[in-house]
Amino acid sequence: MIGKVFKGLYVLLDLALVVKALRDTKQEVNVIKEGILKRIHVNQHHIRANLKDDGNRPVFTIKTSKDNIKTDRVEINGPSTLLYSPDKSLSCGAKCWIETKSEIVYE
């Protein structure tokens, strides 16, 4: 797995392994169609809470203009951009996220 540690947070730079894992699980998936702006970020609070109480909260959030979707797996079918903006964070406080208008598949 290719990635980089950023302040204790592991950021995936190659989502190919996530895509393969998603296809291998054969679980029910949902799709957000191409064209809608989507922002995907890691929910650090859920990671910390899961470590604290051995929970299983979903750690990825997909934000669109209509929804906030929480999930454990995300597949991006097309181009995307990884952004870091410490001065202008998202409304939830995220300073690092993936932005795409490509189709997204999630569980």
Count CB neighbours of 74 within 10 A.
23
Tokens of 87: 């001065």
- Are residues 106 and 75 in contact, defined by beta-carbon separation less than 8 angstroms? yes
pLDDT-derived band at 40 (thresholds 50, 70, 90) equals very high
Could you read off the pLDDT of 42-89 as tens digits, one per residue?
Answer: 999 999 999 999 999 999 999 999 999 999 999 999 999 999 999 999
Could you read off the pLDDT of 13-39 as tens digits, one per residue?
Answer: 445 555 555 556 556 779 999 999 999
Entry pTM: 0.72
